[in-house]
A = this chain, B = another copy of it.
């Protein structure tokens, strides 16, 4: 069995399959794709994933993209402990949390991170080579996203709205973790993995809204997820390319 994973830092979308594979006990070959060097748009990588996105899983030659459906694929296709609860209600909750991470928390967190750290890092580089790198991005959506980051095109309204959503996210997570030890209910699931990849940054990004006094259950859950051997193994892959994000 061949399992190859192309990824950047073990957080956000990239962290999801790394953590899921470690939880299942599946050995895989890790291929580092440096997003900050635009390696995701290199001809070699576009052969694997024509959209130029990470992560990409290649399982016996089958290319699997999009990190959240990828996590369900990992649980469907590989042996190891189940990462989805048995009860339909808990499975539904798991999927609602994964959507929340991808549609609400994730975009707000990215915008904040891009505005604060990635944009300023990019603007230290050679403007001409940056321009060429953006022009080489294969999809229009991603070209617009990178241009906005590099040339600081976020409006104050957008940033304010993202910060508001991060505060709302912290409060919703706290509320859920008062009800049950894990996000889907009584069992640890893909919801915890997917949300952890984004929510672990909340105490650093919105410390007034995610802290031991404001959201004790959330902080405890971040610690419980982070202490799992599989999650530690995944985080050990970090090259700290995004160290400034951790405050």
Which residues does A use to contact B, with CB under 8 Å? 62, 64-66, 68-70, 72-73, 76-77, 88-89, 91-92, 95-96, 99, 103
Contact = CB atoms under 8 A, between A and B. Distances in A.
A103 B69 CA distance: 14
Q: Is the interface of A mostly helix, strand, loop or mixed?
A: helix
B62 A99 contact: no
A69 B88 contact: no
A77 B85 CA distance: 13
A73 B91 contact: yes
A79 to B, nearest CB: 12
Contacts of A66: 95-96, 99
A73 B99 contact: no
A103 B141 CA distance: 13
Contacts of A89: 62, 64, 73, 77
Contact of A76 (B64, B70, B91): B91
A96 B70 CA distance: 9
